[in-house]
Structure 1
Amino acid sequence: MQDRIAERERIARDLHDTLLQGMQGLMLKFHAATRHVPEDLPAHRQLESALDRADDVMREARERVRSLRTASGEDLTLTLTELAARADPDRKVETRLLTEGAVQSLDPIVADEIEMIVGEALFNAYRHAKAKLVVIEVTYDPRQLGVRVRDDGVGIEQAVLVAGGRQGHFGLTGMRERAARIGGALAIRSRPAAGVEVELVVPSSSAYRAAPRRWWDLRRPV
């Protein structure tokens, strides 16, 4: 885990010092070029639209760099609430988030993988399942962390579940791979017209961030 955190920080530095700085320089040049294009020409509007999109991409990239450098996992509930808001900005689907047990601080790598797994489940529920209600449940248990996403949509065909996903689509496969990387178990259940349930269980030894040991805990017993 420590090696992966160090690698994340290195990637964040490289992204900031190369890709983000380079993109910022290109955008400044395009801004300058746009001022020389008459506003009544279609090309001006196209350039403005492209620059607006580039601003969005830069904002997302900076947020990703920030998340790579920041030790996440302090508040999974807040993270998942913000994730749902981004995935469904128009609030077309009712989304509820339920928490059970004493909230624990999570290992940052585990928190990131959970965010990606839940994000994929929400994407499927919002975009493909025609769901009206999505419920996210987070259960903090001394033995394990449980995260479940369920919807009331059209469901997934059993043949697709058995095959591990539709041909050419890798969302379900990616979710299982992410769960395996953090020592978790992922179950995807569905029946036609009965919605989908995605359940992730991660042992507490992997999920919860260990409290720092105090100096008096290190003393040999008398």
Structure 2
Amino acid sequence: MTTLAERQRLARELHDTLSQGLVGLLMQLDAANAHFAKNLYPQGCTIIAQAIERARTMLVETRYVISDLRTPHSLHPDDLPELVQEEIERFTSATGIPCEADVDALVFTPATYCEQVLRVITEGLTNVARHANAHHSWVCATTHAEWVEVEVRDDGVGFDTTTAGGNFPGHYGLIGLRERSRVMGGRLDIISALGEGTSIRIHVPREVQYAEIEIRTGEQALLSRQTSKGNSYE
């Protein structure tokens, strides 16, 4: 079991560094190429500079994964909102999809979970960029007595959460989200339907704990959303 858990952890880290990073680079290079084709050289050069910085970050993170030097306490809660804003700016610059953010409540995330939460948000935005065909997106964090609730939502094409075997767009990334939720002892809600966009919500304990994850999709998650509309975008 220990070996399996370690393999899953390494798979998550490789997905979040190499796979996500390369997807981000491709989106940025595509965006820069589109600007150059329109003779918008200053805008294209700005995106190229951002892509170079992303590549440098990827190299450092990949080295950490390979040498197993990554520490789960490397991020401070007070820095998390700014880091998320930077990720959102890269997402918007590369995709042209507007993203509204309300993430000040992330400062209540336990330091142990900060990196996991940042990865969850990054994966959510990656799924929006790759699969949603969205016109708008949102990232929101709200705090409750026992939880910090984080939501990444879009108004895109959505998908059928009941698809057999979980073989829907971005399913591997969602597997990683489930595993990260489990590590934090949290709860993951995936709410989507064809033509109705997608909402990925994760409930992060405000106190460090290790409990079994509760994963809900479809009607169960929708009922939860309907009973907590005061903390949603509806």
Specify the TM-score bucket, using the shorter chain as the normaliser. Answer: 0.5 to 0.7
Unaligned segments of structure 2, at least 5 residues: 1-50, 210-234
- Equivalence map 1:1-222=2 (5 Å): 57-62=55-60, 68=71, 70-90=74-94, 92-99=96-103, 104-160=107-163, 163-166=165-168, 169-206=171-208
**How many residues matched?**
153
Q: Rg bigger for which structure?
A: 1
Tell me how large the CA RMSD over aligned residues is: 3.1
CA 1:56–1:182: 2 relative to 1, 3 Å: closer
Unaligned segments of structure 1, at least 5 residues: 1-52, 208-222
1:165–1:173 contact (8 Å) kept in structure 2: no
Secondary structure in 2 aligned to 1:71? coil
Secondary structure in 1 aligned to 2:157? coil
Secondary structure in 2 aligned to 1:159? coil
Q: In structure 2, what is the equivalent of residue 33 of structure 1?
A: none
Secondary structure in 1 aligned to 2:207? helix
CA 1:150–1:56: 2 relative to 1, 3 Å: closer
2:108–2:148 contact (8 Å) kept in structure 1: no
TM-score by length of 2: 0.56
TM-score by length of 1: 0.58
The whole-number CA distance in structure 1 between the counterparts of 2:143 and 2:57 is 33
The whole-number CA distance in structure 2 between the counterparts of 1:55 and 1:147 is 27
Q: How far 1:97 sits from its partner (Å)? A: 0.6
CA 1:78–1:144: 2 relative to 1, 3 Å: same
Q: How far 1:67 sits from its partner (Å)? A: 8.1
Q: In structure 1, what is the equivalent of residue 8 of structure 2?
A: none
Residues 66-97 of structure 1: CA deviation (Å, up to 9, x unaligned): 98574332233212111122234235101001
The whole-number CA distance in structure 1 between the counterparts of 2:57 and 2:80 is 22
Q: Give the counterpart letter for 1:183 in structure 2.
A: G
Give percent identity, aligned residues only.
25
The whole-number CA distance in structure 2 between the counterparts of 1:112 and 1:204 is 14
